[in-house]
Chain A
Amino acid sequence: MEDIEIRVARRKRMDGIFAILGLVSTFVGMLTLAALIVDLAIAGSERLTQTFFTSFPSRFPDQAGILSAWVGTTLVMLVTAASAVPLGVAAGVYLEEYAPGNWLTALIEINIANLAGVPSIVYGLMALGLFVYQFRLGQSILSAGLTLALLILPIVIVATRESVRAVPGSMREAAYALGATKWQTVRDHVLPYSTGGILTGVIIALSRAIGETAPLITIGALTFIAFLPGPPLGAEFPFVSFEWLMSPFTVMPIQMFNWTSRPQHAFHLNAAAAGLVLMVMTLIMNGIAIYLRYRFRKRIRW
């Protein structure tokens, strides 16, 4: 009898120890995140002045800034969003609402799952071979935006599918009963209900794209850019110019990488400041996504 009691006590003790171990492990992850942010903030805050945002990179660390980097990031993100969102949402809706259950659909589904596991640098290699040299788009903002669009396409497709699937079948049946066509049902009922989920997925995907460095280095983003791409709006006819699409560029993470890999400590401070800006951007985007998910989950009651 006593023997059993000792065993039970031991197992309960093990259980308690594991509970503590689990909590500690979780905090290891969170402490790393905290240490990361605090470290960046301490090192980078003194460089975060207004001129840091309005100066080009420079040989002199105290004069260098991230103007060309944040402009480049914004433009690349525009191209990425403009190409990945329509493509991804259309593909997601097709797979959920239209696709017949045949081998081709199965192939597409397996393929999307596998694309999510492909290292991002491999996308960069493909873009270098295909966009830069085959299609002759050059080492431009357009190539970069398209590369990142392909990279986040699986995320957008999966998010779209999940939120379209969450719309109950009764909604669709009610629309069909009133004589709506499939497209009318999708456009007027399914898509509006799933907008929240799709938007969340798109924001998460873009926050991933904004921090991607490796594929853009591979396609040949420059690390030192001391000019801005041509303005998209002009005073003369035809008023809109797309020259900026073909312009060479740099982006925030590449600028940060460049500064990190320099030996002088002063540049490391710049890297920390750029990293801080980048972190704040991604954290804000993720925060918006979490908030949207929470709000839409609360608002819609079937």
Chain B
Amino acid sequence: MFLCALSSVAITLGIVGTLVLESWHFFENVSILDFLTDTQWTMLFENPRYGIMPLVAGTAVTSGVALLVALPLGTVIAIYLSEYADPRVREILKPILELLSAVPTVVFGYFAFLFVTPILQSFLPNLPGFNMLSAGIVIGVMIIPYVSSLSEDAMRAVPVHIREGSYAMGATRLQTAVRVLIPSAFSGIASAYVLGFSRAVGETMVVAIAAGQQPNLTLNPMEGAATITAYIVQVSLGDLPHGTIAYQSIFAAGLTLMVMTLVFNIAGYLLRKRCREIY
């Protein structure tokens, strides 16, 4: 049984090992400087250029849009469910809301491409069929449950006497939530945000279907652009001989993805450590 528990460590080692090893082969052919600074990613051209920036920009825009949707909505829902809603209502609403995260992501991709994009196009006639806006919005809705459930758990874990102290001073529920509960539950809320961010960055199928497959260095969500994950899917769908540079490039892309989530997780951890409330 000890070995079974250790298997989780083995998985991590396997992930990091594979990514680093194959990326190593990639960087034997492509200099790291080019990889980080070149502004074009043209893997399939005659003179391929390997600049990760367009893919990172695509990922940043779709996750940015997603977080703009998910963080405000998720936080408001968390405050509402934990402070305002009747317990019976909460018991019904919460599982339904959590079903949102159980929907297969490919279904969300279909939804973004064939339902949300046409609706957006009726407001924004110039919107192309593949665009990061609809992909981002749909990812945002998809990660609402991650943000709201964890934030709500954190707020409900704040001891009742702190809440009562605030009410005794004549504060309304909204004031209590904003001035007392959010600061006290900050570390839990921060982990909810970080998890939401990791999900948005790593989300694959929605962007692969709805955001387009063309690497495009832009920060305009109205355009289409490939993300890191969409690129990995695109390459994997073709025939992929082992050991070629295209094969190695998806590991380099995956490593970039891992580093991005890792940086945010560490930032979240440091933030939590600094702001931890003890009662």
Contacts and interface: CB of A to CB of B under 8 A. Distances in A.
Contacts of B76: 18, 21-22, 25
Contacts of B201: 119
Interface in A77-99: 86-88, 90-91, 93-95, 98-99
B213 to A, nearest CB: 9
B67 interface: no
Interface in A231-269: 253-254, 256-257, 260-261, 268
B232 A91 contact: no
Contact of A87 (B4, B103, B202): B4
Contact of B73 (A25, A33, A90): A25
B233 A36 contact: no
B5 A99 contact: yes
B95 interface: yes
Secondary structure type dominating chain B contacts: helix
Interface string A111-127: 11011111111111110
B115 A29 contact: no
B251 A125 contact: yes
Interface string B79-101: 11100110000000101110110
A23 interface: yes
Interface in B202-228: 202-205, 208-209
A213 B104 contact: yes
Given A19-B84, A26-B97, A119 B8 contact: no
B169 interface: no
B174 interface: yes
A109 B198 CA distance: 19
A211 interface: yes
B141 A32 contact: yes
A57 B242 CA distance: 28
Interface stretch (A46-54, A168-176, A194-202, A274-282): A274-282
A271 interface: yes
B75 to A, nearest CB: 9
Contacts of B175: 11, 15
A108 interface: yes
B73 A28 contact: yes
A71 to B, nearest CB: 18
B2 A94 contact: yes
B77 A153 contact: no
A157 to B, nearest CB: 7
A245 to B, nearest CB: 20
B53 interface: no
Contact of A211 (B106, B194, B203, B236): B106
B183 to A, nearest CB: 17
A297 to B, nearest CB: 12
A14 interface: yes
Contact of A112 (B8, B19, B80): B8
Contacts of A257: 106, 109, 205, 208-209
B7 interface: yes
Nearest to B145: A29
A254 B21 CA distance: 28
Given A118-B258, A261-B209, A30 B96 contact: yes
A192 interface: no
Given A120-B202, A121-B254, A129-B251, A115 B12 contact: yes
A256 B205 CA distance: 11
B110 A108 contact: no
Interface string B252-274: 00100110010001000000000
B202 A119 contact: yes
Interface string A197-223: 000000010011011111001111001
A143 to B, nearest CB: 13
Nearest to B18: A129
B22 interface: yes
A150 interface: yes
A177 interface: no
Contacts of A93: 1
Contact of B8 (A111, A210, A218): A111
A248 B22 CA distance: 24
Contacts of A150: 11
Contact of A33 (B85, B96, B105, B258): B96
Interface string B17-35: 0110110000000000000
Interface of A: 11-12, 14-15, 18-19, 21-23, 25-26, 28-30, 32-33, 35-36, 39-40, 43, 86-88, 90-91, 93-95, 98-99, 107-108, 111-112, 114-126, 128-130, 133, 150, 153-154, 157, 204, 207-208, 210-214, 217-220, 223, 253-254, 256-257, 260-261, 268, 271-272, 275, 278-279, 282-283, 286, 290
Given A21-B76, A43-B114, A211-B105, 9 more contacts: A11-B174, A18-B79, A18-B174, A29-B144, A33-B99, A39-B111, A121-B254, A129-B21, A129-B251
10 tightest A-B CB contacts, nearest first: A119-B202, A22-B80, A211-B104, A129-B18, A214-B204, A94-B1, A90-B4, A91-B4, A15-B172, A91-B5
